[in-house]
Structures are given as structure tokens and as C-alpha cells.
Structure 1
Amino acid sequence: MDWTSEAIDQLRAFWDEGHSTAEIGRRMGISKNAVVGKAHRLNLPARPSPIRREAEPSLRMPAQPRQAPPTLPAPTHAPAPPQRRLEERPPAAPPRPAPVAPPAPLAMVRPFPRAASRTCCWPIGEPGTSGFRFCSGDATPGKPYCAEHAALAYVKVRDRREDAA
């Protein structure tokens, strides 16, 4: 955009009225980012963030004066370590938990048809439901799908030169 002196004056006027950058952009027919960039370059006063709004003054808790944490008096002498009698034994280690058996493998609802089956592998229905199945029609040679589903799966790539015209 070419910033004419009229456009800059209009931006300053909207800015002084307190309009948002998006609203200024709509009124001037430019993007919000163009408004933000030009306002930054013109050193216009910063806007309050719409994200970091201050709470209502009546809802705000009154500030409590901070107090220093109480300090304990320094000990005059270090306490002696506890004396251990010779007949005492150290405590025994806690027992180890029993090993957990690995979970059983999950059974598949239906196996995926193999390529050797020469049947269509197109999924029909929602996997995991009782109505889920595969098409199982005769597969097209060299493809995993029947002719109908191969037409859906394989779309011919358009020549980019056709789009250039």
C-alpha cells in the first residue's frame, strides 16, 4: 500500500479515537497487519492488549503486604548422631512386586485380505463395528481393488500446462 499523507492522517485519527487495528483496517480497506506495521513505524502509542485484560477493580482482591518468612534461631551446638547398638540389624529391603504378565494381543475384527487372494481390499463400513467388511470383488490385475473402487482410488494426474491457460 502507498501511504499517502491523507491515509496517515486518517490512521492517526482512528488511532486517537481508540478503534482496534482490525476496525481501522476495515474502515480504510487495508489489512490489520498493515495498520499495525504503519502504527509501529509512526511510533503511535501502544494499545492495551485485548488478551491480557485487567480484572474489574471491584472483583480484584486487595493486595496483602508481603511479610518475610520467620527465621529459626541458629542451634548453639550440633545434635549428636543417634548411637546404634551392635545387636541391631539394618532394616530389610522391601519385598519386590510380582512381575506383571504382558497383556494378551488384541484380536483383529477381520484380517486384511492378502494380495494373493485376488479380491478387492476396499474397506466398507466403520472398522471395529460388526458391519465392517472388505468389498471382496474380483481385483483388477496389478491393483488391490476391483474396477469400480480402482476408479475412485486412482485419479489421473492433470497436466499442469492445462491450468496455465
Structure 2
Amino acid sequence: MSWTDERIDRLKELWSKGMTASQIADELGGVSRNAVIGKAHRLGLQSRPSPVKANEAAQPKAKPVPAAASAAEIAPADAPRKDPAPKPAPPPQQQPAAPAAAQPQPAPAQPQQPRIVSVGPGGFLRQGPGDQQAPIPPAPPRRLVPAKPSPEVADKTSLLDLNEKICKWPLGHPGEPDFHFCGAPANPGFPYCVEHCGVAYQAQLPRRDRRPPPPLPFGGPRIR
């Protein structure tokens, strides 16, 4: 449903009369209460206080009568006032006598139950749920004794002695007992000394000085 000019004028007229949104929706027909409220809000119509709060504010609240008010304050002014009779003093309260101190009675002796110990394999006694095992003393610290090198490599450079300043050229086979490394001062910028650098790095001959490779055996590979 679209809001025509006639329906908008009718909405403004009913809103100014103080009708509720539900009554306006019933009067216009085809709209809901929320649609009427939203259209009135967009038109900038003056908002009205809630009828529930207005009814509550219109009803005067009755003042509570204090419980300690005397009969003279509630009685009319023409009635003769009577002085209240004095109240008798309350009798003194007697304190209850203190009970005699209760003497603690000895607890009855419980019969000692037999202890059941389970024997495990090997003849050792298993620990029960109520038993407490004595703390186990800590083991003494072990002293790490370095292993003595074999006499074949006692004065030679081993794998643990390698660093950036010595030659790492291996001498011998790793499976042999006298396998070790060169250990000479390394050539700066290279992992080996000057002597072993000459073996590891060889200059490549010019192309004109290279020899052709030897022929393959049996005339070379067969071409199918």
C-alpha cells in the first residue's frame, strides 16, 4: 500500500486528535501499527508520551501511614485527646543456667584388622593403598670422563677438532682406525690448506688445448 496525499493528511488529522497508532491503523485500513508509527516519525509529527506512564502519573499515590502513629493523630480534631496509659516495665529476663561442662567420653577401641600383603613375582611385597613408601634417595651425580683416543689418532686432528682455521682434507678411510684430517692452517677463503687446494681445485685448460675423449669400446653405442 502506498501513502497518498489524502492518507497522509488523514494520518496527521487523527494523530493531532490523540488517537493511538492501533486506532489510526484501523481507521486507515491496510496498514499496521508499526507502519503508522514509522510514517509519523518520518513526517516529524510531535511524539506523545506513553499512555501507560501517563495513567500511572495521573493516579496520586497514597501516603503510607506510619506504624508508630498514635490514635490521637488519626482521630478527628473535635474528639478529646486522652493521654496514653504508661506501659508496665517488662519483667527481668532470667538467664538460663550454664550447662555443666561435658566431659569427653573415650572412643571405643576398634578391633585391629589383619593386614593383607600381596606377594608379587620374585617374592617382593607389593605396596598397599594405605602404605607409604620411604623416599628414594637420589642417585649420586655421574662424572663424565672423556674417552681416551686410540694411539693411532692420539696426536692427529679428529672430527671434533675441526674449525674454520684448519684444513679439513680427509686422510685415510673413515672405517680405518687411523682416519683423521690434515689439520694444517687453511688457505683464507677455502676449506683446505694451500697444498690440498692445488689438488681439489685445478684450472681448466683452454678449449684449443683440450684432448678429445677416448673412443667408446666396441665402436660406441648401437643406434636402433
**TM-score normalised over the length of structure 2:** 0.25
Higher relative contact order (CA 8 A, sep 6+): 1
**TM-score normalised over the length of structure 1:** 0.34
Query: Greater CA radius of gyration, 1 or 2?
Result: 2
